[in-house]
Chain A
Amino acid sequence: MFLKKKTRTMVINGREVHLRPEKFYWSDFFMALPAVLILILITYYPVAELIRISFTDWRLTSREYDYVGWKNWIWLFTAKTSLRYLTNSLRVTFIYTIGNILIDLGIGLLLAHLFNHLTKPYSFMRALIFMPRYIAMSSCGIIFLWMLNTDYGVINKMLEWVGVKNHINWLGDDNLALVSILMLTGWHGVGYCMMIYLSALLGISRDYYEASSLDGATGLQQFRYITLPLLSPTTLFLFITTFISSMKVYQSVDVMTGGGPRQKTEVMVYYIYRLAFDDNRLDRASVVALLFFVVLLVITASTLRITNKNVHYEA
């Protein structure tokens, strides 16, 4: 769906025939050019710079640096300090990503079903659920920070009423801290997934359901054998976009926990940021960043490769 490479060869009468190359229009090329050039400047040029910095000993607070060869790369793969934090942040990032995908896609799909009702009150409720999405994460974080305060937060106070007397240490507990961040990002993002699923559901022809009802299929069966397969392009779309944005998560962690307690919420981007700005090690931050890009690229590419075969497109 993202990329369907056009075949340049065709098999005619058992012989492989090379098609003539497609026609080249300069005008088409120039239409794509501005966007591509700007993206190269604002994203690829910095990455190229990171490659260069990874061979230096550049400290953030310094304006001068020397080239030190592979030192930082060796550090990345051998130093105890590197491996400790690297494996930790990779693990945290993956757990967060899986959790966030489950929440956004899973709950998003459930909500899409629940709110798949074209009446005014439902449309109003949908709008409300979508609302968190248009508040900046940096602001949402502050709201949650306050609601989740251990002793004075409204959530713990309300839990007190239902009998949870011990205040839950949402942001300080080893396991709950990440859950709290998932709560925040889930709250922020689920409405968006719901909307996209909903728009996909509306696109599915009623005929499928009517036909299967006549055959005596239950609602669950319809969901399993009609809805889910027909939603698979949507799911893939959401999966890829949510996957990438979850792997890049930073802002919510920054506002809520600052990576704590003891790196339990230190996701990759936060770790890289910490190396660069707390430890002032731009050089080390660069090698970790480059490794992270490779990981992200490999996973995304292989996901696309695998799923492209299993996605059902509506005719």
Chain B
Amino acid sequence: MALAHPHVFIDAGVTLIVDDAGKVEAVEVTWRYDELYTLILLQDYGLDPDFDETLTEEEVAETLGFDLNWNSGFDGGLHLYRGATELALGRPEAVSLELRADGRMETVHRRPVTGDPGGEDQIEAQVYDEAFYVAFEATLPSGISGAGDCVPELVRADLDAAYERLQVELAAIGGAVAAEDNFPPVGAYFADRLVFQCVR
């Protein structure tokens, strides 16, 4: 989408699924939508017409996977690295969908991971929308399935540096006046990092 700066805010979490040899074989990604976009989704999909803020089983079953038809250059936003090697991610599969009591929609999807060489190198995960239409923050619980004691370190994006680079990119396209419609692809600068030290 060509729209300006973030219009959708999503809190994300990443859970790695690791095989016996210590290689990542799949990953589960949680997205928690902001309150306004949740409302928009509810209306778009005709959900919760009784306004009781809970979804029926039928509603969940019908809507599950609605956010997995990625297009317009968006590829799911997940980037996974073993050391310096980027791991290949397969097509997503819906896991769950829930309307939380705080009025935010939360979905989980799972993607197969291939090409993890294993070894001692740390695993690093980032979730971001390059176009920055969606602003992701990796603030939800993340971890490794079956290894509750391995909690990744959350390295927040250096917002000061990110805004500085945004400013540079804006200047390059003719200033902020130009950004309303040609927002520079700066999503990566605003991306948090999840660093898993204990996958081996």
A and B associate in one complex:
no
